[in-house]
A and B are shown apart, each in its own frame.
Chain A
Amino acid sequence: MNFDDIKIGDAITEGKHPVGKYQPHYYAGASLDFNPIHIDPEFGKMVGLGGNILHGLCTLAFAAKTCVDYAGGDPASLKRLKARFSKPVKPLETVIVAGKIIAKEGDTATAEFGASTNKGENQVLTNGIAEFRKI
């Protein structure tokens, strides 16, 4: 999508991101965040999370991918990315990122977005805001 073609009300192309059993381990290695809540299912159960959970920043990385892909693939087009990690993402779930353009002024377009798992029932990212700049 070219910036000039973005219109208020446009849907951000939905992004589907399957979370494999070992996705938290891959992300731990890449991000150097080895907190046991992410990589140790037993530890995750012990602290009341029901198992190991994906890093919030990995879910946000999926959202960034959805946004950048929508904006044409150049990460320079992403001006801001903000979200609340409302619920944990568990391995073997699929994260679905969806949003729409709510404002466009000058060289900035603003989208609201959210992410969910379990066919949209479980909102994992809420209050999401993505801003795009004209490049």
Chain B
Amino acid sequence: MAVDKKFIGKQYAPFVYEVGREKIKEFAKAIGETNPLYLDEEAAKKGPHGDIVAPPTFASLYAGGPVGEMLYDKELALNLMMLVHGEQDFEFFEVARAGDTMTTNCVISDISEKSGKSFVTAETMTTNQNGRPVVKARWTFVIRG
């Protein structure tokens, strides 16, 4: 079933996420990371950021929060059984540090159809507690037939 294009432009409430120290380590371990800047406080203290920082795609958690809300949006009614992630584009402005508070705004930027598939794209912009941009992202999902 086609996704109604009238939802292009729909925005979701700003999503606030505090980057947890242990969550960074948990995420890093789950993706097979061994980088001490993510996992070792002592090494990270001597490193370029003075404390542990998150791997780049940790943005999936803080920037992905409102995207999850979109995926489960009852009004949009996406067929999650047939939904897969199609494309992802992250633009990184600043690293995410343990203790940072991220605020992410999310808008549905495109809905289209091609070869019997539906495509839904969300754009997110995340800023930290200092009001500085952290990550801008485009998330494209495909609903298969």
The chain A residues found within 8 Å of chain B, CB to CB, are 17, 26-27, 29-33, 35, 37, 47-48, 53, 55-58, 60-62, 64-65, 68-69, 73-76, 78-85, 88, 127, 135
Contact = CB atoms under 8 A, between A and B. Distances in A.
Interface of B: 26-27, 29-33, 35, 37-38, 47-49, 53-57, 60-61, 64, 68, 80-82, 84-92, 94-95, 144
Nearest to B60: A57
Instruction: Give the most central of A68, A69, A135: most B CB within 10 Å.
Output: A68
A127 B61 CA distance: 24
Nearest to A17: B32
B57 A60 contact: yes
A135 B89 CA distance: 21
A76 B60 contact: no
Contact of A58 (B31, B54, B95, B144): B31
A26 B90 contact: no
Contacts of B80: 35
A61 B57 contact: yes
A37 B80 CA distance: 9
7 contacts: A26-B30, A31-B64, A57-B85, A61-B57, A65-B32, A65-B55, A73-B35
Contact of A84 (B31, B33, B86): B86
A135 B38 CA distance: 18
